[in-house]
Amino acid sequence: MIVKNEAHTLNNCLASVKGIPDEIIIVDTGSTDQTREIAKEWTDQVYDFSWTDDFSAARNASFQYATKQYILWLDADDILLPEQRSKLLQLKETLADHVDAVSMPYEIPQQIDRGVVSYTVRIRLVKRDKGFGWQGVVHEDLATDQPYQYLSSDIKVTHTKSTSGTAASPSRRNLDIYERHLARGYKLTVSDQFHYARECQQHHLYDQAIEFYELCVDHPDVSLENQIFAMHKLATCYVQAGQPHKELELTLKALAKDVPYPAFSCRMGEHFLKQGHIEAAIHWYSTAYLHPMKERYNASVVDTAFQTWLPHEQLAMCYEMLGDAKQADTHRQWAGFYKMGITEKPYKLSKSSSGNTG
């Protein structure tokens, strides 16, 4: 772990995996609160690292202290819920020796009445002798030049709510790091460009966000799934920048590239809804949550709203327009379940009853 001023979260994080790691390594990057004292209650391996505006440098330093066969990494505001902790313990006891890396879903903060906002899949556990290292100054990723055997697990890591910034006034920390690097002549990698664009969008710097998203959407080093996700964020930026016509262009381009990403299915639904073509809108909103291939985008970042409560909410409106109160009520209930974070429903909605006959 790398930490800084995490006295309010560190105990919860470490308690959630208590008894599983054989060693706990905590690298402090300049805390001024009680972080170091709390860390020392859990481990005698607490080290200092002089902050250099580079998360990868700090994480790579933390990996250098590891001595066990595998390295698991967490942030101080991450936790494993009890069921996930049990899964991690079982993985430790049963993991085949040939496995070099294990990925885990990463659930990102909840909002009131919205359930899980988004999730992605990240490599969480790596074999130490495979030379995995961190790349990227912010929103860094693990990579290695060596071939490796990979296991996809269903162990979920949950990111707890941050105290740094709000949705209305987010923290500038990451944006400032990028801008300081750019001022020093640092050349952004394509991954940096994508994450810098996301930071710009979060801070309503839409023109800058558009510029850097545009560099990613057709880049050969960006996976198809991440190209589609970049197009989704780019379409949102164009709307926010007062250019809504670009949203339809990007929607059609995305649909021409791959199976429908749920966000673009919702955009097509909205397009037809605005035209008064309710049956077509129902088809596309239904596709957003029913499409059997939507899980392929888990390797990117999944904005869960577009495949959970939002299409159901819109379908409720569509069916009301058609005078079908029963279907409207069913979809309204589904939207409510998702907003409460309930994903197991007491009944199933069939494809035929959803109106999706395509």
Residue boundaries of the structural domains of the chain: 2-159, 173-354
Q: What is the pLDDT averaged over residues 175-190?
A: 94
Q: What is the pLDDT averaged over residues 105-121?
A: 71
- Supply the CATH classification number for the domain 173-354: 1.25.40.10
In this structure, of 85-94, 147-156, 166-175, 273-282, the range with the lowest mean pLDDT score is: 166-175
Q: What is the pLDDT averaged over residues 21-49?
A: 98
- The CATH superfamily label for domain 2-159 reads Spore Coat Polysaccharide Biosynthesis Protein SpsA; Chain A (3.90.550.10)
In this structure, of 10-14, 71-75, 119-123, the range with the lowest mean pLDDT score is: 119-123
Task: Determine how β-strand 157-159 pairs with β-strand 70-72.
Answer: unpaired
Residue 353: per-residue pLDDT = 45
Q: CA–CA separation, 106 vs 278, rounded Å?
A: 36
Nearest alpha carbon to residue 203 among 170, 177, 162: 170
Amino acid at 5: N
Task: Give the model confidence (pLDDT) of 186-225 as tens digits.
Answer: 999 999 999 999 999 999 999 999 999 999 999 999 999 9
Beta strand segments in the chain, E: 2-3, 26-28, 46-48, 70-72, 78-79, 101-111, 115-127, 133-135, 141-143, 150-152, 157-159, 302-303
pTM, 2 dp? 0.84
Q: Tell me the torsion sign for CA atoms 30, 32, 38, 40.
A: positive
Task: Give the model confidence (pLDDT) of 95-106 as tens digits.
Answer: 999 999 999 999
Nearest alpha carbon to residue 82 among 151, 10, 15: 15
Q: Chain-wide mean pLDDT for the chain?
A: 90
Residue 356: per-residue pLDDT = 41
Half-sphere exposure of 217 toward its Cβ, with a 13 Å CA cutoff? 19
Q: CA–CA separation, 156 vs 119, rounded Å?
A: 10
DSSP at 77:
T
